[in-house]
Structure 1
């Protein structure tokens, strides 16, 4: 059994509407902060939090669009996201506000902290990590990358998983490897998964205008170029995230020393 609820909090001058999922009982549980991609907090990221709770983690799927999603309106999404991505201090503040909410939850273990981010949400959790938040594990799926400077990562601990699709024009394998070169030079424990044939946001199943699943591979609503669903790789990427967390953080029943 798990428990879920909506959590509101203030950040970036807005009222955010996050999704919290926790196992049954009193904890303590390892805690996972989840950052959604540029479209907004949707049922997929809520589902990631719920699945993590089933695996023994307390998880907060943060919000940085004040409850709004931008399905079918890529221009408005870019107008919101691009200024944010150009302002590391603003991203860090948004991430810290969500992290404070997660760690204030009874049962959240601050010594077993992890992060998961998609797209711009991946950039947010990377900014938190480079600023010193002690994540034991961090998974970023087709993230936006900060500047590849090893000095920004010296003294940072934790295990890192970075994933993208071979056909992603927004988070290319070359960009990913350039960033991991900085992690390597800083002595970070990192790994990379590149999924053959996958495009950007390969985990996002196409929906109809009413939000129902199309059952196909083509998005009905407008998206940015290079977006496409790949169901097999979506499953593989999620398993890679679970494997990382199990190895680096453990669970409530099987903690990593």
Structure 2
């Protein structure tokens, strides 16, 4: 196991002081990087562990913040903040760009090889960065088959992979179909993986979602979705050259 170095980073976005989590691989050389977005509740140890795992694989990873250092465990509080945010592409892009600037400013980051991976609201922000024309090597989302403003998906310049649970009431078949139609019409290199029997946020431990209808952890699909994310990164932003493989 390689040594991973981590630290918190503060930066401004959406009128708040955000507190992100940066994980650096061993070594001193520039590496491909991942901008990692959390579920609507905000940055938690779930994303921090994923950032550590990506750094173990050789990626500089910034797990970004949504709520100014707060974790919104109460569903009503989370929805009160996230629903207006998800309805405002410019706000989402502002949060994404601020985090991306932090990631690009890290000396270990190769600024020409950055991917965005996100869950729920964090995934929607990654998609909005793509629709804004940001030069990303890949966009991966789980629970975020969100559509954008008409025509702007044509600005996406990288492969897009999306994973969603078949029983997700928040991203139902109608929403998935609208998303794939948008990607197809824009000529995007897109893929959609539907995980049979999974609910919304199936990748996230049950403890945070126990009382929310339509939300639940699916251990097997959680592992499969993680492997799919890793495979996307290995295809689009490989680290083998940097590691001497």
State the TM-score bracket (shorter-chain normalisation): over 0.9
Rounded to whole Å, the distance in 2 between the matches of 1:47 and 1:253 is 25
Select which of 216, 221, 235 maps to 1:233: 221
Select which of 63, 66, 70 maps to 1:64: 66
Rounded to whole Å, the distance in 1 between the matches of 2:108 and 2:216 is 38
Give the conservation status (yes or no) of the 8 Å contact 2:132–2:155.
no
| Equivalence map 1:165-184=2 (5 Å) | 165-184=165-184
Give the conservation status (yes or no) of the 8 Å contact 1:70–1:77.
yes
Rounded to whole Å, the distance in 2 between the matches of 1:240 and 1:164 is 12
Rounded to whole Å, the distance in 2 between the matches of 1:81 and 1:226 is 17
Give the conservation status (yes or no) of the 8 Å contact 2:145–2:179.
no
Give the conservation status (yes or no) of the 8 Å contact 1:23–1:56.
yes
Give the conservation status (yes or no) of the 8 Å contact 1:127–1:146.
no
Task: Give the C-alpha shift of residue 113 in structure 1.
Answer: 0.9
SS of residue paired to 1:154: helix
| Equivalence map 1:116-131=2 (5 Å) | 116-131=117-132
SS of residue paired to 1:207: helix
Equivalent position of 1:211 in the other structure: none
Q: Which stretch of structure 1 is more off in the superposition, 10-19 or 175-184?
A: 175-184
Instruction: Give me the TM-score of the superposition, normalised by structure 1.
Output: 0.89
Rounded to whole Å, the distance in 2 between the matches of 1:254 and 1:189 is 26
Give the conservation status (yes or no) of the 8 Å contact 1:27–1:252.
no
Task: Give the C-alpha shift of residue 251 in structure 1.
Answer: 1.1
Give the conservation status (yes or no) of the 8 Å contact 2:31–2:242.
no
Give the conservation status (yes or no) of the 8 Å contact 2:130–2:136.
yes
Give the conservation status (yes or no) of the 8 Å contact 1:21–1:49.
yes
User: What CA deviation, in whole Å up to 9, does each residue of 1:105-140 have, x standing for no partner?
Assistant: 011011111001111111111111100111111101
Task: Give the C-alpha shift of residue 152 in structure 1.
Answer: 1.2
Q: Which stretch of structure 1 is more off in the superposition, 232-241 or 198-207?
A: 198-207
Q: Which aligned segments of 4 or more residues in structure 1 are displaced greater than 3 angstroms?
A: 252-255
CA-atom RMSD, angstroms?
Answer: 1.6
Give the conservation status (yes or no) of the 8 Å contact 1:57–1:252.
no
Equivalent position of 1:152 in the other structure: 152
SS of residue paired to 2:111: strand
Task: Give the C-alpha shift of residue 155 in structure 1.
Answer: 4.5
Give the conservation status (yes or no) of the 8 Å contact 1:120–1:144.
no
Task: Give the C-alpha shift of residue 174 in structure 1.
Answer: 3.2
Which runs of 5 or more structure 1 residues have no equivalent in the other structure? 209-218
Equivalent position of 1:245 in the other structure: 233
Task: Give the C-alpha shift of residue 153 in structure 1.
Answer: 2.1
Equivalent position of 1:103 in the other structure: 104
Q: State the number of aligned residues.
A: 241
Rounded to whole Å, the distance in 2 between the matches of 1:252 and 1:90 is 36
Which runs of 5 or more structure 2 residues have no equivalent in the other structure? none
**Cα–Cα, structure 1 residues 64 and 158, in superposed 2: closer, same or farther, change >3 Å?**
same
